[in-house]
């Protein structure tokens, strides 16, 4: 097993070669004027979005994810993505409605809010042509991609979040542990896996995003704090 420096150096070389081969190390920011401050979505990084109550945190987060999805659909050879969205505040149907509203604006410059899509105003039912558009092949390509790349869960505790994401990571990559020496029941020394060391994904170009919306709704529990859970997840 390579040591820390060797792994780090190999990673730096691979990331350089990745760019030179036409791939990406981050999904570019949709905010071009702020590129120097926010380059986009990068693997292995925390992104904390804060604001006052009803300040648009969810909308901003989803816009970044929707733009990232559209990017990988445009450049499928450069990257892939999987979003684990823990629906602590909004359910999966509401989030899909937000994506449909986003698509209508992006593809056909039709501005309609998710609320109006739901015909929430009794005097303003959603136009039938909007519903017809959403079922058309043009839109279904993107909606099916959304369903493929987004995984929704109502788990709200740190351990549950960690276990769900770790299971996916282990199914799609290799986890390495530091070896330790222990004495077995016969008094003989044996080498076994000890604490977690590092993780190598099968697809290094897959971006995994773990979204907790929002952090204050995560339930506390004994055994693992929110920070401990996030620290462990960042290694995957």
pLDDT confidence tier of residue 175, bands split at 50, 70 and 90: confident
DSSP string across 89-116: SS-HHHHHHHHHHHHHHHHH-----HHH
Strand duo 26-28 + 189-201: pairing: unpaired
Average pLDDT in the 185-195 region?
78
DSSP code of residue 185: T
pLDDT confidence tier of residue 132, bands split at 50, 70 and 90: very high
Q: For residue 228, what pLDDT is reported?
A: 61
Pick from 207, 235, 200, 231: nearest CA to 10: 200
5: which 2 tokens? 């420096």
Q: Which residues contact 219 (CB under 8 A, 6 or more apart)?
A: 156, 157
pLDDT confidence tier of residue 215, bands split at 50, 70 and 90: confident
pLDDT confidence tier of residue 16, bands split at 50, 70 and 90: very high
Question: pLDDT tens digit string along 53-112?
Answer: 888 888 999 999 999 999 999 998 888 999 999 988 889 999 999 999 999 999 999 999
Q: For residue 84, what pLDDT is reported?
A: 94
Is the pTM above the cut of 0.85? no
């Amino acid at each position: 097993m390579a040591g820390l420096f060797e792994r780090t150096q190999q990673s730096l070389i691979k990331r350089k070669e990745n760019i030179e081969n036409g791939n990406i190390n981050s999904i570019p920011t949709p905010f071009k004027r702020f590129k120097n401050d926010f380059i986009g979505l990068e693997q292995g990084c925390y992104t904390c979005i804060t604001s006052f109550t009803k300040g648009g945190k969810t909308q901003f987060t989803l816009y970044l994810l929707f733009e990232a999805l559209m990017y990988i659909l445009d450049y499928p050879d450069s990257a892939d993505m999987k979003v684990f969205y823990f629906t602590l505040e909004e359910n999966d149907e509401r989030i899909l409605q937000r994506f449909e509203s986003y698509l209508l604006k992006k593809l056909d410059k039709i501005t309609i809010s998710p609320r109006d899509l739901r015909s929430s105003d009794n005097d303003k039912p959603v136009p039938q042509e909007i519903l017809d558009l959403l079922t058309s092949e043009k839109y279904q390509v993107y909606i099916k991609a959304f369903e493929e790349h987004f995984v929704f869960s109502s788990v709200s505790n740190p351990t549950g979040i960690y276990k769900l994401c770790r299971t996916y990571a282990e199914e799609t990559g290799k986890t390495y542990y530091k070896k330790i020496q222990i004495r077995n029941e016969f008094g003989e020394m044996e080498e076994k896996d000890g604490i977690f060391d590092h993780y190598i994904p099968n697809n290094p170009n897959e971006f995994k995003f773990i979204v907790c919306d929002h952090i204050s709704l995560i339930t506390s529990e004994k055994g693992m704090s929110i920070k401990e859970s996030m620290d462990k997840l960042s290694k995957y």
